[in-house]
């Protein structure tokens, strides 16, 4: 059996991205390495941030989206309004770097399915 360990996200706004994942999803950083402009950090909840100097937001950077299981999709969609992200519908949004995020109800998340 395989499980996703983490999803890596490239960002030019490293500190802003950290605040976003910590404030909106209450994630907990457990490791950080490197120096500006090549820092990386990992969150216990499975997200990795990779700082870059240049970013091609028009490209998909080798992935389609990240799915995050949450207690309340509506609550998260309300919280994102304070950040420079774009709502796609009631449970999808995109970050400034083009990363698409899908929200799923934690109650319906099936690890062994």
Q: Supply the pLDDT for residue 69.
A: 86
Residue 13 CA: distances (Å) to CA of 27, 43, 54, 75, 84: 17, 17, 10, 24, 11
Say which residues have a Cβ less than 8 Å from residue 75's Cβ, sequence separation at least 6: none
- The confidence score (pLDDT) of residue 62 equals 43
pLDDT at 1: 31
Residue 61 has a pLDDT of 59
pLDDT along the chain (113 residues), means of 10: 70 93 96 96 91 74 74 93 96 88 80 48
């Amino acid at each position: 059996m395989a499980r996703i360990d983490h999803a890596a996200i490239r960002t030019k706004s490293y500190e802003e991205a950290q605040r976003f994942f910590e404030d909106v999803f209450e994630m907990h950083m457990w490791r950080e390495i490197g120096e500006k402009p090549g820092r990386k950090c990992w969150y216990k909840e499975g997200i990795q941030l990779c700082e870059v100097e240049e970013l091609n937001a028009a490209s998909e950077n080798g992935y389609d989206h990240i799915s995050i299981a949450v207690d309340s999709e509506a609550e998260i969609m309300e919280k994102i309004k304070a950040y420079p992200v774009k709502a796609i519908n009631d449970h999808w949004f995109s970050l400034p770097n083009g990363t698409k995020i899908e929200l799923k109800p934690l109650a319906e998340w099936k690890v062994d399915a």
